[in-house]
Amino acid sequence: MLDIVKLTKKYTKNNNIFTALNEVSFKVDEGDFIVVNGPSGSGKSTLLHTIGGLIRPDSGQVLFKGKNINLFTGKELELYRKRNVGFVFQQFHLLPYLTVFENIKMVCPKPVNRRKINEYMEKCSILPLENKYPSELSVGEKQRTAFIRAIITSPDILLADEPTGNLDPVNSEVILSLIGEFHKGGKAVILVSHNPGAAAKYATKSIVLSEGQIIN
């Protein structure tokens, strides 16, 4: 489904060029559940953002079903982000002026399937908070809202950046098992985790990044 070929991303940091991703290559097939880990700063979020079409690599390619997403027009890239990938951001990126329900609803195709949204909010224990704004939520509640927003459209690939990073063990397991359910439906998952042990029972492959390179 995805072919990541020699992906390289450089940032300018204090007037120096810093290589955040250095020729990273791997494949993601349908049914893959890939867990990515590695130390802070090793390039995990950069990798996910590049695959999700949110940042452009300096060189290399992200091929989705054989097509290089970096050659997509603005419209094609928008559709790729809307239909094909679901993204759980490390910093959530909820819209502050929309409620929990509205944040989730905004990504849904019309007519909105209210029952499906309610089911997910219920499973993630945020149904009673549906009319609250992000500023009124705990970090874990924001994280669960962001998670539902990523998964509600049934994308082909879920890109999840530390989706359980701020959750207690019970909510962590709820999210992981929902990701597991999503994956069993024939979808692909790339999950960044500092705690790969928790996700190990779902993983079909694992990748370890160090200084922008795959070391394992």
The residues of the shown chain that bind ligand ATP, judged by CB under 6 A, are 11, 13, 20, 38, 40-46, 90
The verdict on 143 binding Mg ion (CB under 5 A) reads no
Nearest approach, Cβ of 142 to ligand ATP (angstroms)? 17
**Which of 58/102 has CB closer to ligand ATP?**
58
Angle (nearest 5°) at CA 57 between 104 and 148: 15
Number of residues engaging Mg ion in binding (CB under 5 A):
3
Measured CA distances, 138 to 7, 119, 188, 194 (Å): 36, 21, 29, 21
The single residue among 42, 45, 145, 164 that binds Mg ion, judged by CB under 5 A, is: 45
Contacted entry of Mg ion, ligand ATP, none for residue 84, CB cut-off 5 to 8 Å set by kind: none
Site for Mg ion in 57-116 (CB under 5 A): 90
Task: Describe the strand order of the beta sheet including 213-214 as a list of residue ranges.
Answer: 85-88, 157-161, 188-192, 33-37, 205-210, 213-214
Nearest approach, Cβ of 127 to ligand ATP (angstroms)? 30
Half-sphere exposure of 59 (CA within 13 A, CB side): 4
Cis peptide before 163 (omega within 30 of 0): no
Nearest approach, Cβ of 46 to Mg ion (angstroms)? 8
Contacted entry of Mg ion, ligand ATP, none for residue 42, CB cut-off 5 to 8 Å set by kind: ligand ATP
**Which of 90/143 has CB closer to Mg ion?**
90
Amino acid found at 99: T
Nearest approach, Cβ of 148 to Mg ion (angstroms)? 21
Q: Assess contact for 148 and 92: CB atoms under 8 A.
A: no
